Amino acid sequence: MTPDAPHLDPEQLAAYFALTDVGSLLQYAVEQQLREDGDLSSVQFQIIARLTGAPSGRLRMTDLADGIVYSRSGLTYQVGVLEKAGLVVRGTGPDDERTVVVSLTAAGRDRFFQVLPGHVEVVRRLLVDPLDRSDLATLRSLMDRVLTHMRAAPPRSARPRPPRKPSA
């Protein structure tokens, strides 16, 4: 019985493990490729990718932070690394003196396109090749549904915490 105890049946667990295994293997492969081809971490690549896709290659720190990093200081650190590498420059925003606008340099854009082909190839080889077009559409639809649900629900609701027994 134990009707209150949360549990997952083997089918649900298997789906979860399969998803996380794919996720971590894919992430590891991508990280390797980005490091080898362009000396970038995946966070740094994401920042550059966003800037590449932004109008005139500039974004405010706050806009950059969104899905990429979980703390402001983390973003400051990463943008600092990119700036030291000459891939990005920081300047004060025109409207609001508090904001900092991050701009992609020519070197930054070059680096992005230097790394992109290998990145695409890794994704293709590991994820796209083994699935056909309709599989990918299905996968996307499932993941989109999960994302919608995640974003609707409060990220960390008031979950009753079990008693913290020992400390370590």
Partner DNA sequence: TATTGTTATACTCTATAACTATA
Partner DNA sequence: TATAGTTATAGAGTATAACAATA
Residues making contact with DNA (CB under 7 A): 41, 43-44, 60-62, 65, 69-81, 90, 93, 96-100
Q: Which does 106 bind (CB under 5 to 8 A by kind): DNA, its own copies, none?
A: none
Residue 90 near residue 79, CB atoms below 8 Å: yes
Number of residues that bind its own copies (CB under 8 A): 75
Which positions from 33 to 72 touch its own copies by CB under 8 A, shown as an x/- string?
A: ---xx-x---------------------------x--x--
Which positions from 77 to 106 touch its own copies by CB under 8 A, shown as an x/- string?
A: -------xxxx-------------------
Output 3 or 161, the one with its CB closest to its own copies.
161
How many Cα atoms occupy the beta-carbon half-sphere of 95 within 13 Å? Answer: 1
Output 24 or 62, the one with its CB closest to its own copies.
24
Output 96 or 135, the one with its CB closest to its own copies.
135
Q: Which does 71 bind (CB under 5 to 8 A by kind): its own copies, DNA, none?
A: DNA
Q: Which does 90 bind (CB under 5 to 8 A by kind): its own copies, DNA, none?
A: DNA
Q: Which does 77 bind (CB under 5 to 8 A by kind): its own copies, DNA, none?
A: DNA
Q: What is the DSSP string of the chain?
A: --SSS----HHHHHHHHHHHHHHHHHHHHHHHHHHHHHS--HHHHHHHHHHHHSGGGEEEHHHHHHHH-SSHHHHHHHHHHHHHTTSEEEEE-SS-TT-EEEEE-HHHHHHHHHHHHHHHHHHIIIIITTS-HHHHHHHHHHHHHHHHHHHHS-TT--PPPPP--S--
